[in-house]
Structure 1
Amino acid sequence: MTENRPEPELYDSLEGQVALVTGANRGLGRQIAANLHDLGATVFAATRSMQHDVPDEWEHLLVDVTQEGEISGAADEIFQSAGRLDIVVNNAGIAEFDSDIVSEPVETIDRTLATNLRGPMLVCKHTVPLLLQTNGGRVVNLSSGMGALAEEQTGGSPAYRVSKTGVNGLTAYLHGEYADEGLLANSVSPGWVRTEMGGEEADRSIEEGAETPTWLCRFQPGSPAGHFWRDREIIEW
């Protein structure tokens, strides 16, 4: 154990468990979903369009996280077909960089907050009841160092930064509200990853970026929760 990481108990296999991953058709979401599938989980891959390609071995769900009806319908479908839900990965997100708050269009602010913050809140609204039916249900929220209040908030991208600060607030809320009922909620910064969002100059591969989110999905009941993680270490909010 390191000073900054309480040692969790990990599942070696997720056989028999069920995971929902939003934004699962590309980038980090697709890699996390693939990792969970390889660990034995039944993966429900949520995408904004059924035209998006996902492997046949995954269950494909239509979920635009800005549409509450689609989220509610997906939760119902998961319960009807699988009867349980063990893991929710709130990965779906968008970003438009560089503008400061004076120049950032209102449309960008609204769209970013609707997808990156309101979306995960609605996903939790409709999935937490399922997660609480199993001991040690997990919520893994994809956040960013750009939303960390402990880091210098300069360089533009106000809507993206504030949305990720809000995601961390959602994690802290879930922990405060439901930890006593067994829910494990954690935020994670995957780092600067070579995805469509991160760009080709990013210093991490998709596989590297997905490592810690996947690790958090393996936490057994009683493992650390209510934290912000990077590279399997707790970092400041």
Structure 2
Amino acid sequence: MSNLPLALITGGSRGLGFETARQLGRLGYRLFIASRTSPRLEQAAHGLRSEGFLVTTHAFDMQDQISIQALVEEVKKKDVPIDVLINCAGVMYETGNGDDLQTEYGSTASVLRSAERNVTDTIAINMIGTWSVTRALAPHLGRGARIVNVSSSMASLGEMGPGYYGYRASKAGINVFTRTLAYELRPRGILVNSVCPGWVKTHMGGPGATREVADGAAGIVWAATLPPDGPTGGFFRDGQAIPW
């Protein structure tokens, strides 16, 4: 059994999650990547293993308690604590279309015209799903572990703009989760922080994004590898605090 620290990354099969896994692998972590789609997971694992990393995969559904429990059972088989939990899995179902409001910010997913299911499913997956997964995995976190919840400046009340109500609300909820969970886990030495990776060139961010995936992942890895006296319950971008 390897004595390398273990990092579990949800949404680890592509984009930010995959790059975060890669960067943690280079720092000497064993990797446990989880997402909804098995074929994509196996492709991601193949790429990571080709770089010499130890990788475990597991497909699961963040909206299904039985599926989440199956993930927990796979973690228990490792018989080692989780040193880093990265909650990167998420969706943005409110996308631009011809009915969107036009503002000085350009085309946005209208708060008033977005389909109800797009809003409710986004909140259910991003906010409630992250809470459900973390709650299930919490007993298996090691003392002094790190939790990083991937958030967005779109959730910041200090930077709030138009549109995307479901996405903004779900990530604001993630920030509330971060702040409150940090207090509960402080006695175990566990640091919990939200990170905005910026607008990155992923499937979600699109080709017009302003940041490379590696740059966005670096901020997540920073929070995942904080020293014991590092911050907890904060909201950061590139290692710098940003407005709630």
Q: Same fold (TM over 0.5)?
A: yes
Distance 1:231 1:189 in 2: 8
Measure how far apart 1:99 and its partner are: 2.3
Q: Give the greater-gyration-radius structure (CA).
A: 2
SS in 1 for 2:44: coil
Instruction: Specify the alignment match of 1:12 in structure 2.
Output: none
Q: Give the counterpart of 2:198 among 187, 191, 194.
A: 191
1:200 has 2:207 as partner: yes
Is 1:180 aligned to 2:180, yes or no?
A: no
From 150, 172, 183, the counterpart of 1:142: 150
- TM-score for the superposition, normalised by structure 1: 0.89
SS at match of 1:135: strand
Aligned partner of 1:109 in structure 2 is 119
Listed one character per residue, the Cα deviations across residues 191-224 of structure 1 (whole Å, up to 9, x for unaligned) are 0101111111111000111011011111232321
Question: What letter matches 1:77 in structure 2?
Answer: E
1:40 is matched with 28
CA–CA distance in structure 2, aligned partners of residues 119 and 106 of structure 1: 18
Query: Unmatched 5+ residue regions in structure 1?
Result: 1-14
Could you tell me which amino acid in structure 2 is paired with residue 31 of structure 1? E
Unaligned stretches of 5+ in structure 2?
50-54, 96-107
What's the CA shift string for 1:30-67, capped at 9, x where partnerless? 00011111111111110102111222431011122122
Q: How many residues align?
A: 221
Give per-residue Cα distances to partners, 1:174-203, cap 9 Å, x unaligned: 112121221110000000101111111111
Q: As a proportion of its length, which structure holds more strand? A: 2
Give the Cα–Cα distance (whole angstroms) in 2 for the partners of residues 162 and 20 of structure 1: 25
Distance of 1:68 and 1:179 partners within structure 2: 26
Looking at structure 1, the residues matched to 185 and 80 of structure 2 have their Cα atoms a distance apart, in angstroms, of: 21
Q: Which has the higher helix share?
A: 2
The one-letter amino acid paired with 2:191 is L
Task: Indicate whether 1:55 and 2:45 are aligned.
Answer: yes
Identity between Structure 1 and Structure 2 (%):
34
- C-alpha displacement of 1:29: 0.4
Taking the aligned partners of 1:150 and 1:125, their CA distance within structure 2 comes to: 29
Q: Distance in 1 between matches of 2:67 and 2:228?
A: 29
Name the counterpart of 1:68.
65
**Distance in 2 (alpha carbons) for counterparts of 1:72 and 1:173:** 23
Q: What's the Cα RMSD here?
A: 1.5
Between 187-196 and 57-66, the greater mean CA deviation after superposition: 57-66
User: Does structure 1 residue 128 correspond to structure 2 residue 138?
Assistant: yes
Dislocated runs of 4+, deviation >6 Å: none
| Aligned 8 A contact 1:143 1:164 in 2 | yes
Whole-Å separation in 2 of the counterparts to 1:68 and 1:184: 25
Q: Give the secondary-structure state (helix, strand or coil) at the position aligned to 1:100.
A: coil
Alpha-carbon distance in 2 for matches of 1:219, 1:16: 17
